């Protein structure tokens, strides 16, 4: 018989940040990770961007999320070793005079001066892009190399003998009043972080998930020296050494991990409206984002089994949401602090029967 404080199921971005934080708080944990189940984190673009969309809306909880995440990932880099967070900034060109007028109005209307700087001189971009009318630049954007971050935390788990690389079989879970028994491992609490696969978890399958398939292309552009991410319908992210990632597509059908011609054509057709350099494709990746019907995360405790927790629903913005909601879930567990009601799964308890 073995005893632990926590079992964590899933070692994607959500499970990794939770596990790392629990280890740092001195907890005895064991993580189950089934490597035959492809994760969203292994193909994520990892972009963070506080202002998005046609109407330049500030992202939900932008102050809380963006007030924390840069420092959070830098601290993780120092702690774990490695450079996985890149605050490159993001440039969004104006596509025509009407589009420029619309965005300038939105910047004023939404008071975005602290977020977006209008750039007139675009010579930096013109070697690779057909950009004439300037655009908007935000410094508060960049990307996280999620696979690298996850692999660093995995190394830490292995060092702490806290990782079991096998499937967590829900049918073998026995819940008792004060503890949980799984294959003779006794723990006080389980945190489920299975991403898209949570729909197979009989304890949480009643939550309204709405998974979204996404695809990206990895490629090379000769002498690519543009530092920020360029976003024009699709985004082009510099990975270093002339490598770039082009993303991303959204599909609510055919929820599989197969790259498609359709997605490749869509990505290239959109980006080639502004990209004039040759994009040499090296790889195409597909994954399924664990999104939810109301586009808010699933954080909290099971309505009946008070030692079962969920950290999921990070959707399209896992890198922005995960640091803040890791803190929210653990503060709830340890200090009974409130979880943001829009993220707390209490909002869906009426669906549980
Ligand atoms: C193409 C694409 C582009 C994206 N771009 C961005 C972006 O630019 N910015 C951003 O913030 N987000 C982006 N995302 C979203 C991001 O990937 C997710 O929000 C985040 O990675 C979700 O992490 P997760 O840990 O919840 O899920 P996952 O990464 O899917 O991890 C879940 C893990 O649980 C494991 N698991 C499941 N069931 C079991 C079981 N029974 N037993 C053991 N292990 C199990 C799986 O193997 C997996 O490793 C993108 C996603 C895709 C697909």
Q: Structural domain tally of the chain?
A: 2
Phi first, then psi: give them for residue 146, nearest 5 degrees: -60, -45
235 and 338, same domain (yes or no):
no
Q: Are 158 and 305 in contact (CB under 8 A)?
A: no
120 and 217, same domain (yes or no):
yes
Cβ partners under 8 Å of residue 63, min gap 6: none
Residues with CB under 6 A from ligand 1: 9-15, 32-34, 37, 39-41, 43-47, 146, 167-168, 193-197, 214-216, 247-248, 287, 289-290, 312, 314-320
119 and 151, same domain (yes or no):
no
- Mean pLDDT, the chain, integer: 96
What are the E-state strand segments in 49-193? 51-52, 57-58, 85-86, 90-93, 117-119, 135-138, 142-144, 163-164, 173-175, 180-182, 185-192
Q: Dump pLDDT digits (tens) for 277-295.
A: 999 999 999 999 999 999 9
134 and 255, same domain (yes or no):
yes
Domain final residue pick, 241, 257, 289: 289
- 323 CA distance to ligand 1 centroid (A)? 14
Per-residue pLDDT at 178 exceeds 90: no
pTM, 2 dp: 0.97
177 and 193, same domain (yes or no):
yes
- In ligand 1, the atom with minimum distance to the C-alpha of 235 is 8
What CATH number does residue 230 fall under?
3.30.9.10
DSSP labels for 189-240?
A: EEEE--GGGGGG-TTTTTS-B--EEEEEEEEE-TT----SEEEESEEEEEEE
134 and 157, same domain (yes or no):
no
245 and 280, same domain (yes or no):
yes
- Which residue out of 16, 32, 41 has the highest number of ligand 1 atoms within 8 Å of its CB and is therefore the one to mutate? 41
219 and 100, same domain (yes or no):
yes
For residue 236, the cross-strand partners are 230, 246
Domain carrying residue 322: 2-43+147-209+293-351
- 130 CA distance to ligand 1 centroid (A)? 34
221 and 282, same domain (yes or no):
yes
- In ligand 1, the atom with minimum distance to the C-alpha of 286 is 1
205 and 216, same domain (yes or no):
no
Q: Dump pLDDT digits (tens) for 296-311.
A: 999 999 999 999 999 9
181 and 249, same domain (yes or no):
no
- Which residue out of 14, 32, 40 has the highest number of ligand 1 atoms within 8 Å of its CB and is therefore the one to mutate? 40
Domain final residue pick, 241, 271, 289: 289
């Amino acid at each position: 018989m073995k005893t632990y404080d926590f079992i964590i199921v899933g070692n994607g971005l959500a499970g990794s940040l939770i596990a790392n934080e629990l280890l740092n708080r001195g907890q005895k944990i064991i993580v189950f990770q089934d490597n035959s189940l492809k994760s969203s984190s292994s193909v994520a673009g990892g972009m963070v961007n506080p202002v998005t969309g046609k109407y330049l809306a500030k992202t939900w909880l932008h102050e809380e999320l963006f007030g924390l995440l840069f420092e959070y990932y830098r601290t993780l880099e120092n702690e774990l070793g490695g450079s996985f967070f890149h605050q490159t900034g993001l440039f969004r060109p104006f596509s025509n005079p009407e589009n420029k007028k619309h965005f300038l109005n939105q910047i004023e209307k939404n008071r975005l001066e602290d977020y977006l700087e209008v750039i007139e001189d675009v010579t930096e971009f013109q070697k690779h892009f057909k950009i004439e009318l300037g655009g908007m630049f935000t410094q508060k954007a960049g990307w996280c190399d999620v696979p690298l971050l996850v692999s660093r935390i995995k190394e830490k788990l292995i060092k702490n003998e806290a990782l079991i690389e096998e499937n967590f079989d829900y049918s073998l879970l026995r819940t008792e009043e004060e503890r949980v028994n799984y294959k003779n491992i006794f723990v006080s609490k389980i945190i489920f972080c299975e991403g898209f696969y949570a729909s197979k978890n009989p304890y949480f399958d009643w939550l309204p998930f709405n998974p979204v398939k996404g695809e990206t292309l990895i490629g090379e552009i000769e002498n690519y020296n543009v530092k920020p991410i360029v976003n024009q319908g699709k985004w082009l992210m510099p990975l270093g050494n002339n490598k770039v990632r082009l993303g991303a597509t959204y599909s609510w059908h055919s929820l599989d991990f197969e790259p498609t011609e359709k997605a490749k054509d869509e990505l290239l057709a959109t980006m080639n409206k502004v990209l004039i350099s040759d994009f040499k494709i090296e790889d195409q990746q597909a994954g399924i984002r664990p999104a939810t019907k109301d586009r808010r995360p699933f954080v909290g405790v099971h309505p009946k089994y008070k030692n079962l927790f969920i950290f999921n629903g990070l959707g399209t913005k896992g890198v922005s949401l995960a640091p803040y909601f890791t803190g929210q879930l653990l503060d709830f567990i340890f200090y009974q602090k409130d979880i943001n009601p829009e993220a707390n799964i209490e909002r869906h308890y009426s669906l549980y029967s």
